Structure 1
Amino acid sequence: MIFDKLINYLKLDKQEFSFQFNSHPNYPSALAFSDTLNFMGVKNDAYELDKEYWDELPEEFIAIVDNSFSLVKKTGAGYSVYSEKAKTLNKEELHQKSTDFVLLFEKTEHAESKAVFDFKPLLYVIFAIILGYSFFTQTIFEALFNVLSLAGVYISMEIFNQKFGNTSTVIGSICGDTSAKQAINSCDKIIKQDKTSILGLKFSDFSLIYFTGLAALGLFLPATAYIVKGFTLVSVLAIAYSLYIQAFVEKAFCRVCLLIISILAGQLVLSILFFQSTPFSVGALLLTAVLWILVFSAVLYFNNILSQKESLQKSNAKNLRFKRNYELFKSQLLEKEKIEFQDTDTFTLGNKDAKFRLSIVSNPYCGFCKDGHKIMEGLLEKYPDDISVQIRFNYSSERADEKYTKLLSAFKHIYQTKPQKEFLKAVEEWFETRDENKIVSLSGSSAPEDLSPFVEMTKDNSNSGLNFTPIFILNGYQFPDKYDREDIWFFIDELMEDEDFQ
């Protein structure tokens, strides 16, 4: 299922979204799509809504249009629809092509993709240095040749990245509508169906190698003029091959391929008409050989690494789809004996009468507990009326020092005298700062509280074998060790609806 335009509009990481969506046990259902958006930071709610009520929907919503998840955006009297392509429909066309499924969403600050490192700024700096050097030290024709080389490098890199699932707005804007009905613009048909394979490299990969090598050789013009001219003459074969494939094999023309052909033709004309051949130089020949070997090796290396990563992601997606199967999770959850806690007057949050109860056995001084509390707070925020949460801080008066006693007393005072949000904010503040005095200040009291319920609760935890922290207890059942705590997001809705689990 393709929804590039939708993913781009929401500014999500396409690879991460595809991986999470494909690994969902209910893939490719609406539930899987909704859960994946939630996981990526786009809060949403799904509805089955008759078309007569669609006029009441927000300006933006997600629907299934032409059997594909699509972003629908009201634009005047019509609707802009974003899926694998962008299109405009009137009200009647939208209703005809859509199911009753609608998904209302709200983006959070974490929704945008955040790459570990963005190479494009560095690439632009290198391009700027090459262009500056070319226009200030070389002839206008040599500089123009280098401009064409850099254009070829950029387009080839976009194609290279797109091969591994990264969406390219540049390629998309050049190719336009790449649907099956628009064969004249069928970039995907030409690029993705490329059957060339030399050490795993496609014809488009050699375009990247070629232009990168020429960009480097162009810096040494006119000393490398005869070598550059030789390469441009050889490029005639590549032009002829590409045109043959497009015209007679695939019977579809690719705009981005035609653009690269235009760049090659432009360099051919410049080299023949304006480059003066220089005497043969062994040094220039050795430089060319070393340069081409380095560029070829680099492209081959990154191609193999990214191919392996893509293969692993597909394999992991299948494994996770199995792991995230609710029935399997439930069987693991119910495998251990149910834990019955004694009633204690401690920190209970959410809806105390809710059928779904989450207990978190924790310790304020446990470094790993911070993430567990974040998950708990996220569940409370999303399901305030459907979940009851108990924070079970381990505390022993014999082993606890004065600081811990003061901290727990402050927490209890905040819990008893202030709203739930203030208490959660204080707990969050503690895990961020680890400053007991700040929590005491937030409580407004330094008087010691009765902590005997926490002592009894800790004994209860110990008797149940809950000695490590953090631990999640779901309706009395310990969260399975085979799963990460974050996996609870994949099962929470089904757990709440499962009458056998209540």
Structure 2
Amino acid sequence: MNDFFNFLFHYLEKEEILLDKPEFLFQVQSHPNYPSLLAISDTLSFFNIDNAAIRVEFAEIDDMPDRFITLLSEHLSIPHLYFIEKKDSSYFATKDKKTVEITKASLESRWNNVVLLAERSEEERIIKNKKQQWHWFLSSLCLVLFVTIVFLFAGSLRTYSFFIFPTIGLLFSIASLKDLFGAKSKLINSFCNITASTSCDS
């Protein structure tokens, strides 16, 4: 069931919106209109995430943000929700865990005029900015202390590598634990999403 909402979780991660996934799944499945777009929108509102499900003609797609969720037609099947991301002039569609490039013509032929948008609240942005300031201060302090300790010990390349490699391993461990427990950051997101088809989940 978790895979069914991967398009939504991927979208929220890109927008840097934090969400308790198990609680979201519980709430959305409890909605009387589950599994409709209304159920998703109402559940996001329950978590105080500003969102809107709107009708958008395809002619207005260039005015849309670079990331959004939309309902696309399927061949011989009911329409499904996709996370769409625009990079330069290319479009990428994500459903389940698959991300594929989609042409604008193909997007137009499958368009259903339904779009879901979400954004972080202003209060969350202020809190995040304060956390980032402290994060950079502590990170810089740790880096300065580490470099000082390494250079106080005059030694060979082997000695330096003994300090450097475990430290790099520790940093990757912290990054993966933060991703595992949902504490997203811009650095982790950029590392996890180096290309459109990669993520730390996969």
Deviations 1:171-210 (A, max 9, x none): 514687348xxxxxxx646xxxxxxxxxxxxxxxxxxxxx
* Structure having the larger proportion of residues in strand: 2
Aligned length: 176
Selected match of 1:146 from 132, 144, 163: 163
Deviations 1:47-105 (A, max 9, x none): 3x6xxx312243224213584441444743x4344675765421233245665532355
Whether the aligned pair in 2 keeps the contact of 1:72 and 1:80 (CA below 8 Å) is yes
1:102 matched residue in structure 2 = 115
| Cα distance change, pair 111–74 in 1 and its aligned pair in 2 (3 A) | farther
Question: Are 2:134 and 1:129 equivalent residues in the alignment?
Answer: no
| Cα distance change, pair 75–155 in 1 and its aligned pair in 2 (3 A) | same
Where do 5+ consecutive residues of structure 2 fail to align?
75-79
| Cα distance change, pair 44–91 in 1 and its aligned pair in 2 (3 A) | same
- Mapping of residues 46-445 of structure 1, within 5 Å: 46-47=54-55, 53-57=57-61, 58-60=63-65, 61-64=68-71, 67-73=80-86, 75-76=88-89, 78-81=90-93, 87-95=100-108, 99-104=112-117, 108-110=121-123, 112=125, 114=127, 120-121=135-136, 122-123=138-139, 125-141=141-157, 142-167=159-184, 168-169=188-189, 171-173=191-193, 177-178=197-198, 188=201
Whether the aligned pair in 2 keeps the contact of 1:80 and 1:86 (CA below 8 Å) is yes
Deviations 1:403-439 (A, max 9, x none): xxxxxxxxxxxxxxxxxxxxxxxxxxxxxxxxxxxxx
- Mapping of residues 456-467 of structure 1, within 5 Å: none
Give the partner amino acid of 1:155: F
Selected match of 2:36 from 21, 29, 36: 29
Give the partner amino acid of 2:155: T
Give the partner amino acid of 2:83: S
**Matched residue of 1:14: which SS?**
coil
Deviations 1:370-407 (A, max 9, x none): xxxxxxxxxxxxxxxxxxxxxxxxxxxxxxxxxxxxxx
Give the partner amino acid of 1:63: T
Task: Give RMSD over aligned pairs.
Answer: 3.9
In 2: Cα distance, 1:29 partner to 1:104 partner: 15
| Cα distance change, pair 157–107 in 1 and its aligned pair in 2 (3 A) | closer
Q: Structure 1-normalised TM-score?
A: 0.29
| Cα distance change, pair 104–188 in 1 and its aligned pair in 2 (3 A) | closer
2:77 matched residue in structure 1 = none
In 1: Cα distance, 2:123 partner to 2:98 partner: 25
**Matched residue of 1:177: which SS?**
coil
In 2: Cα distance, 1:117 partner to 1:106 partner: 19
Q: Structure 2-normalised TM-score?
A: 0.62
**Matched residue of 2:181: which SS?**
coil
Give the partner amino acid of 1:91: K
| Cα distance change, pair 134–104 in 1 and its aligned pair in 2 (3 A) | closer
Selected match of 1:44 from 48, 52, 55: 52
**Matched residue of 1:64: which SS?**
strand
Return the index of the structure with the highest Cα Rg.
1
Whether the aligned pair in 2 keeps the contact of 1:70 and 1:81 (CA below 8 Å) is yes
| Cα distance change, pair 159–133 in 1 and its aligned pair in 2 (3 A) | same
In 2: Cα distance, 1:97 partner to 1:145 partner: 56
Selected match of 2:15 from 10, 13, 36: 10
Give the partner amino acid of 1:147: I
